[in-house]
Amino acid sequence: MKRVFVLLYGAFAYLLFLIVFSYLTAFLLGLFVPKSINDLGVAAPGGLLGANAVNLALIVLFGFLHSLLARDWVKALLYRILPQPAERSTYVLQSSLCLALAMWLWQPIDTVIWQVSGWGSVIAYGFFGLGAGLVLLSTFIIDHFELFGLRQIWTQLRGQQMPEPVFKTPVLYRVVRHPMQLGIIILLFSTPLMTAGHMLFAASMTAYIFVGLYFEERALVRQFGDRYLAYKSQVPMLFPRLLRKSDRQQIT
């Protein structure tokens, strides 16, 4: 019975992620949604100061909980409440709920920073698609189903154990250490209409990405030691550079 519960729990968390991520793309581009990040002519109830306060509080809440659940001591507490295979699904569920809350309560600030049309908008949409595609491709290159908790619950349903993590750097991970986060940054800023509210969302989420990566890389160094330190010295964090042939050969 417990295994079935974990399976349903993980499937629900993954389905919610798909819905929220799909809604986020429409929310950022202002397509097919009742409220978007760039709503023009919509005055925030608390004025500019109140809108900034609410929006920053939403980002801080998202970042705080997202980082908190990644800490080992929090995971240990979760294991007392939920079966261990459900830990990753809980992380996915929390992230999706916080992001949904941020979009629901977001206060538009409609000052226009830039607005392009014609070929400019085509280019903006193209970069947005590039960012979204980079995010999804990055998840499948490593292990999409493990990243979102599905492999863990399927493994426990079959009465098996998850294998120990293996350090690997497939394809995009030989160009930058965090291609998924690079894709997120690209899609955050790629829009034909950039308002002050959108810029606040994009800039604050980008700042959180750098904070989150700082702690993530510390955890990776603890887990993989000198191998990850060597990887860090050879491959940039987010923005690609041309690697020397000798460097490429050393990365495994």
Higher pLDDT, 166 or 13: 13
Q: Residues 187-191: what's their mean pLDDT?
A: 95
Which DSSP string corresponds to the chain? -HHHHHHHHHHHHHHHHHHHHHHHHHHHHT-S-SS-TT-TT---TTHHHHHHHHHHHHHHHHHHHHHHTTSHHHHHHHHHHS-GGGHHHHHHHHHHHHHHHHHHH------EEEE--THHHHHHHHHHHHHHHHHHHHHHHH-HHHHTTHHHHHHHHTT--PPPP-----GGGGT-S-HHHHHHHHHHH--SEEEHHHHHHHHHHHHHHHHHHHHHHHHHHHHHTHHHHHHHHHS-SSS--PPPHHHHHH--
Domain, as residue range, for 239: 2-250
Work out the percent of the chain whose per-residue pLDDT is above 90. 53
Q: Tell me the per-residue pLDDT of 203-227, one tens digit each, with 9 for 90 and over.
A: 999 999 999 899 889 989 998 999 9
pLDDT exceeds cutoff 80 at 236 = yes
Mean pLDDT check: name the lowest of 105-119, 129-143, 158-172.
158-172
Count of domains observed in the chain: 1
